[in-house]
Amino acid sequence: MLDYSEAPEVFNPKFELFEQRLSKSRYIAVLTGAGVSTMSGIPDFRGTGGIYTSKYEHMDVEKILNIDFFNTHPEIFYKWAADVWFKLENYKPNIVHETVARMGRLGVIHEVFTQNIDLLHQAAGFKEIYEVHGSPMHNYCTSCHKHYSYEQIAPIASQGKVPYCSCHGVIKPDIVFYGEMLNPHTLQKAEEIFGRRCDMCMVLGSSLNVSPANQFPYMAVQQGSTLVIVNAQETPLDDYATFRFNDLNQTCQALNKYLDKKEK
Ligand SMILES: [Zn+2]
């Protein structure tokens, strides 16, 4: 795991101020991104240098993940996706997933939105999550719209084969491809939570480069919410952040000590 931790004399006083603000906040919304997944060994799907921007058999991965391309060449998508998307049992939740789940149980945070599609927040025990880019839990027939679970699809897709419906239609994971709209219900919920309700917004492991999720923290700031960003790389919203930490591991360790005190 890469270490971006800050020196204790820099980190500790900053965290202490953050802790004070945290204990006074009434409604905390969290957004998690690829940096959380990479700590579990999952490749960054969209970031610069991530596998979305790399090549697969001389094709841009972005092209493979385009909905029009999927509709004509599902076999290429499923060959590419076999190793990561359909072998999720190979990956385990990390300290960030555990800390988010614990904060949820203790009522410290209220809503969690994720840009990740790896089901690891759920694996850590946090179920009520908004998956901005969809979820491999759900899969639909492109002809008759019949639903298939991850467990039904994974044995076929993890071998790089196209899963077909009983009607012979191609089954597509309910993940947002390029050229597809985000789930309007999720977007509406984000507008309500970030744009009106929260008084603290915590960004964990997102470089805030992918729209529209990168708009959520901005909406929060616009309505007067405190912004906290924990990310190894710079983000376009750093100047708006009241608290800015580099290292997810260091920050989550400190958060757990805060939660220990709270639980006593
Ligand atoms: Zn069908």
Distance 184 CA to ligand 1 centre (A): 24
Q: Tell me 239's DSSP state.
A: G
Contact 44/50 with Cβ under 8 angstroms? yes
Element (H, E) at 140: strand 134-141
What are residue 204's DSSP bridge partners?
A: 32, 230
Residue position matching structure tokens 């990390």: 94
pLDDT tens digits in sequence order for the chain, 264 residues long: 678 999 999 999 999 999 999 999 999 999 999 999 999 988 775 544 455 556 677 777 788 889 999 999 999 999 988 877 888 888 999 999 999 999 999 999 999 999 999 999 999 999 889 999 999 899 999 999 999 999 999 999 999 999 999 999 999 999 999 899 999 999 999 999 999 999 999 999 999 988 889 999 999 999 999 999 999 999 999 999 999 999 999 999 999 999 999 888
Distance 172 CA to ligand 1 centre (A): 11
Tally Cβ neighbours within 10 Å of residue 247: 19
Distance 38 CA to ligand 1 centre (A): 34
- The CATH fold assigned to 50-90+135-175 is SIR2/SIRT2 'Small Domain' (3.30.1600)
> What CATH number should be reported for the domain whose range is 24-42+93-133+183-264?
3.40.50.1220
Q: Is 256 helix (H, G, I), strand (E, B) or coil?
A: helix
* Selected catalytic residue, list 97, 110, 121, 133: 133
Q: Let me know if the fold of 24-42+93-133+183-264 is the same as that of 50-90+135-175.
A: no
Q: Which residue ranges make up each domain of the chain? A: 24-42+93-133+183-264, 50-90+135-175
Distance 162 CA to ligand 1 centre (A): 13
Q: Is 133 a catalytic residue?
A: yes
* The one-letter amino acid at 84: V
As a whole number of angstroms, the distance between CA 251 and CA 43 comes to 22
